[in-house]
Structure 1
Amino acid sequence: MPKTPADLFAYLDDLGIQVTTVSHPPLYTVADSQALRGDIPGAHTKNLFLKDKKDNYFLVTIEEDAQVDLKQIHHMIGAASRVSFGKPEALMALLGVAPGAVTAFGLINDDKGAVRFVVDSDLVRQETINAHPLTNEATTSVRSEDLLAFVRATGHEPAILKVSS
């Protein structure tokens, strides 16, 4: 059973990580987010759940306005081949979230370490990062270094790479 937002907040609290969360109508795209989220300060994320031909999975987190070259990113992230978007069933099985709610916080559900986490180096330079807390009906703000601490606490070593163009 995937973790709930309440489970996530308890986990973050146990780690001593302070967050601020704002509830809002469901947001499915970056455009939805920009139109409906209001004034939530900090960098907002876009998340790509990718897989290569050998069924290696990657979660790539970048700033919402950043662009990535999906034909070339496999070279940067260490994929075995070109990548495609992972299927919704794999997303739910590995990260416990549905399309539209993809988030770095989903790593709390990947207890087998099946997903490699890649975060854009431009994003981690920001003081505050905003991400969905396992649901697209809220946005959680966390300090950049605390997000990386969370990722490490889940057993994932973040790959901090320049993947945006």
Structure 2
Amino acid sequence: MTQAETKLEAALAALGIVFTKHEHDAVFTVGESEALHAEIAGAHTKNLFLKDEAGAFFLVTLPAEARANLKALPAVLGSRRLSFGKADDMARLLGITPGSVTPLAAFNDTGRVVTVALDAALAAAAVVNVHPLRNTATVGMSGADLVRALEAWGHAPIIAHIPVLEDK
């Protein structure tokens, strides 16, 4: 466990947030994590680090099985055309690397540069599973507690139905 993760867990504990933690092999994609989804109860997530054409950054969390509609998403975020953010911006702003993207990384964004958006179904879920700043573990907590943590860290999330592409 990294020093940053230790601080994150202490911050969650200070808020009275109860969570479960599962250690596992590194997973870099939702596809690679499908086996874990069967073993770990609760909603699983897909996280996107995005930047709009005006230079604003977003961390969008949606259900793991969904495919975000990047053409419709700007309207929900109040932004312009979106593209994927660069790894160096992710490391600088959130202290994480690709494959470890998590809404909990907002804890590291003390400058409050990144806007967090959370799918409404996840915000209401009994258990939401996310990475704890690394892709070799998963933590589960209630959606309400995830929202409460983000709010406490100055990152009150946009809670909305994240538009998705329909399966073909």
Normalising by structure 1, what TM-score?
0.94
Q: Deviations over 1:93-128 (max 9, x none)?
A: 111100000000100000111011111112222110
Shift in CA distance, 160/36, structure 1 to aligned 2, threshold 3 Å: closer
Asked whether the equivalents of residues 91 and 97 of structure 1 are also in contact (C-alpha less than 8 Å), the reply is yes
Shift of 1:162: 0.8
Question: CA separation in 2, counterparts of 1:49 and 1:98?
Answer: 10
Shift of 1:72: 2.0
Give the length in aligned residue pairs.
Answer: 163
Letter of the aligned partner of 1:75 in structure 2? A
Shift of 1:37: 5.6
Asked whether the equivalents of residues 30 and 64 of structure 1 are also in contact (C-alpha less than 8 Å), the reply is yes
The match for 2:131 is 132
Shift of 1:38: 5.2
The match for 1:67 is 67
Name the SS for the 1:149 alignment partner. helix
Normalising by structure 2, what TM-score?
0.92
Q: Deviations over 1:71-104 (max 9, x none)?
A: 221111111x210000000001111100000000
Question: CA separation in 2, counterparts of 1:161 and 1:137?
Answer: 28
- Structure 2 alignment gaps of length 5 or more: none
Question: CA separation in 1, counterparts of 2:107 and 2:3?
Answer: 7
Shift in CA distance, 56/3, structure 1 to aligned 2, threshold 3 Å: farther
Q: In the TM superposition, what are the counterparts of 1:1-165 in structure 2 within 5 Å? A: 4-36=4-36, 39-79=39-79, 81-165=80-164
* RMSD across aligned positions (CA): 1.4
Shift in CA distance, 16/22, structure 1 to aligned 2, threshold 3 Å: same
Question: CA separation in 2, counterparts of 1:36 and 1:75?
Answer: 33
Shift in CA distance, 77/3, structure 1 to aligned 2, threshold 3 Å: farther
Letter of the aligned partner of 2:52 in structure 1? D
Shift of 1:66: 1.4
Identity of matched residues, %: 39
Shift of 1:67: 2.1
Name the SS for the 1:49 alignment partner. strand
Name the SS for the 2:32 alignment partner. helix
Asked whether the equivalents of residues 45 and 63 of structure 2 are also in contact (C-alpha less than 8 Å), the reply is yes
